[in-house]
Every structure is written in structure tokens, then in C-alpha cells.
Homo-oligomer: A and B are copies of this chain.
Amino acid sequence: MSDLPHVVVIGGGFGGLDAARALAHAPVRVTLIDRHNYHLFQPLLYQVATAALSPGDVASPIRWVLRHQRNVRVLLADARSIDTANKVVHLDPGGGDSGGGESELRYDYLIVATGAAHAYFGHPEWAQRAPGLKTLDDALEIRREVLLAFEAAERETDASLQRRLLTFVIVGGGPTGVELAGALAEIARQSLRKDFRTIRPESARILLLEGSPAILGTFPPRLQERARRSLERLGVEVRTGAIVTTVDQEGVKVGEERIAAQTVLWAAGVAASPLVKSLGVPMDRAGRVLTEPTLTIPGRQDVFVAGDVCALQQDGKLLPGVAQVAIQEGRHAARNVARALRGQPLEPFRYKNYGNMAVIGRAAAVADIGPIKASGFFAWIFWAFLHIFFLIGFRNRLAVMTEWAWAYVTLQRRVRLITGEKLWPSS
């Protein structure tokens, strides 16, 4: 098998995993590397951050997902740089205290699907204060900060400090920001209602700040308006045209207005994984690779880019950084590798949009699916079924379904655990 062409896939997210799977029957050997040992179902990550689901419900070990695909080898490794001239990926020095292991991978074809992180509008120092939501560890950190704020408020004796502890700011009104704001409102108004003796959790203030004129920018105006009203009904203050100019220990500044808040969550901006800098090809301002329509990088037919790290225009508009785009690009890159092996010309990628959805708390969602523009309970049911369907692993599907049914009836969130070594952020 070792004389077969070697395809290296970097990244086990939607793009990379689907690329590896699409190569199952190709005459190649595949190595998939990732810094984490799990594939993460990103669309439900906000539910881990808001104590509704456990990390194990939305993540599956990559090598378990691919255990039956004998032509794939999975390696836990951090790709440090790519040398396209010599067709080598350089890895971190290796695992264990022994510090051994392979430190470079030679490839015949390379698929880069390393994703993106949040961007802080040129203020990287805000990252420490306002965590984003991209990894499982991010989600656990957000859960920790949110729950700790309520705990600290219960112990606080000063009224104005207590108000600051119970103020939560979410920056960014895309789907992630909207979903976080809705879930936080439900925690405060429903799940924690009976738990405290000094504070009233339902008095918490939750602000959703969006710089542009509307939340859910990619949705039609009618659904934007409905989402806004649903959030307001849950008690979220939605502010559009609100540009955050400062994030510091006190909270945030919007223009000249100070908002005192202990918890600031970041769901705005995008910065591609820095690995692709080593490709030495043109990138956009967010650091995404400007690929050819075939998903190859300019000048090379053996390096493909897929998912959030890829900047591709279609009909004059940039394709959005969502799971559907990553999955379709990953598969297309794999198919183009197979075509190249057969000596056929590469084909251009064309995204087929199946629709957009966002959830606004329990039993409410907005859905924009071709001719269908739905909102409310039926959009939520549809959202719930689709997400369970696309989740990996039957056991995870069952667990998530049970957890949702339970939460729907009891209004509880079971996973309200503060984990991590330190007691308080400042101690």
C-alpha cells in the first residue's frame, strides 16, 4: 500500500473530514492530521458553552469516525509550515515526554482545511478578555465564565458591582451571537430561577451588539426582524449599528458609551488559520487563501484549500464560512485529486446552497431555505431534526435528542459545571 500516491489532509473539521471520506475508494493512501483528536460538530458548540450539552455530545474522536476506512491514517499533530516546492508538511516536534515521532510528511497531494478563528478588529489583546467560540476548550471557558459570574454575584455585597457581574455582552450578531444571546437569556430567566438566595438571576442584563444595521446579515429582512423580536421577547437588548471601540476589565465601550460588564463574549470577525501564510500565495484581509475556482492554489495543481480558510467568490459574493460550504469544498477537493490521478482535468467548484438557519432559544428559530422563509416553532423543529441527522454517531444523536427533550420539558440545563483549576479568574 505504501507505493500508492500519498494524500495529506490537514484539519479534521467539516472540510478535512469529508475530503478524507470522499477518498475512501480512490487508489491513494491518506494521512489526516489535526491538533485535536476529535471532530467537532460546530453548529451545536454554543450549546456546550451554555451548559445544555456535554462536550462528548458534539465531538467524536476522528480516528473512531474513520476506523473502518482502511486507507486513512490519523495523526495527532500540529502542522507548522508547508513547503510546496519540496512537497513536505513540517509538524510540531512530536508527542510524549520522549519527544519522538515523525516530524515531517511528504505528500503527492495536499488538502488544507485548517479553518478560522475569530478576529478582534486589530485588537488581539481583547482575546484574553472576550473569548470566542471555536473549540471545545473555548466552549468550556465560556461556560465557566458565565456560571462564575452568577456565583460571584451571589456573594457580592456591593449593588453596583453585582449589576456589573450580572451584565453579559455578546459582540457580533451573526448566527453564533444570536444563538448565544438566546441561550444566555434562557439560563438567566429559566434554568437558574430557583437556585439563588441573594440575587435574582432573571434580572441579568444581556446585550447583543452588532456593528452593521441588522443582525443575521445573510438572512432576508423579514426573518431578521422576526429574530430580533424573538430575542427581545426573551429579554435580550439587541443593538444594531453598535461599534465596539474598547474592551477592557470594566466591560466595553460602544462609541462613547460605557457598558460595565463582567462577561464579554466574542462572536464577530474572522481570521484564517495562520498556517496558510507558508503557502506564499495571495490572501484576503482575513488571511484566507484566494484559490482558483478548482480550489487549487495559484501555480500548483497538487495543493487544494477547503473550508473557512478558503476565500472563494461565487456570483460576485464571497462564500460564507459555514459547515455546508466546507463539506462541499472538501468533497470537491477530494474529487479533483481523484481526477488528477486519472489524468483528467480539474473541475471548478460550485456551491449549492441548501439554506440557512439560526436558533433563538427554546422552540424558536428562523429558517431561510430556498422559497421557504419560516420562523418560530416549526422552524425550530426542522432545525432540531436536521442537526440531529447530521451529527456523527448514532449514540451522540440519541444523547442529544434525549437531552433536548428533557430540557424542553424541565427548562433545565444539566451541565452547569464550573471546571478548570483556578477558582476565580483573578485568583
List the interface of chain A (C-beta within 8 A of B).
Answer: 35-38, 54-57, 59, 61, 63-64, 67-68, 73-78, 92-102, 136-137, 140, 147-149, 151-158, 161, 164-165, 194-198, 249, 262, 393, 395-396, 398-399, 402, 406, 410, 412, 414-421, 423-427
Contact = CB atoms under 8 A, between A and B. Distances in A.
A220 to B, nearest CB: 38
Contact of A155 (B77, B396, B419, B420): B77
Given A96-B149, A98-B164, A414-B56, A67 B419 contact: no
A156 B194 contact: no
B161 A427 contact: no
A72 to B, nearest CB: 8
The copy count of this chain in the complex is 2
Contact of A418 (B36, B99, B196, B427): B36
A198 B98 contact: no
Chain A binding surface, main DSSP class? loop
Contacts of A157: 100-102
A413 B391 CA distance: 17
8 contacts: A56-B417, A74-B154, A75-B155, A92-B427, A96-B149, A136-B419, A393-B414, A395-B412
Nearest to A36: B418
A99 B161 CA distance: 9
A136 B95 CA distance: 24
A424 B95 contact: yes
Nearest to A262: B96
A395 to B, nearest CB: 6
Contacts of A414: 56, 393, 395-396, 399
Contacts of A36: 418
A197 to B, nearest CB: 4
A257 B31 CA distance: 39
Contacts of A67: 194-195
A93 B393 CA distance: 46
Contact of A137 (B93, B197, B198, B421): B421
Contact of A96 (B38, B100, B152, B396): B152
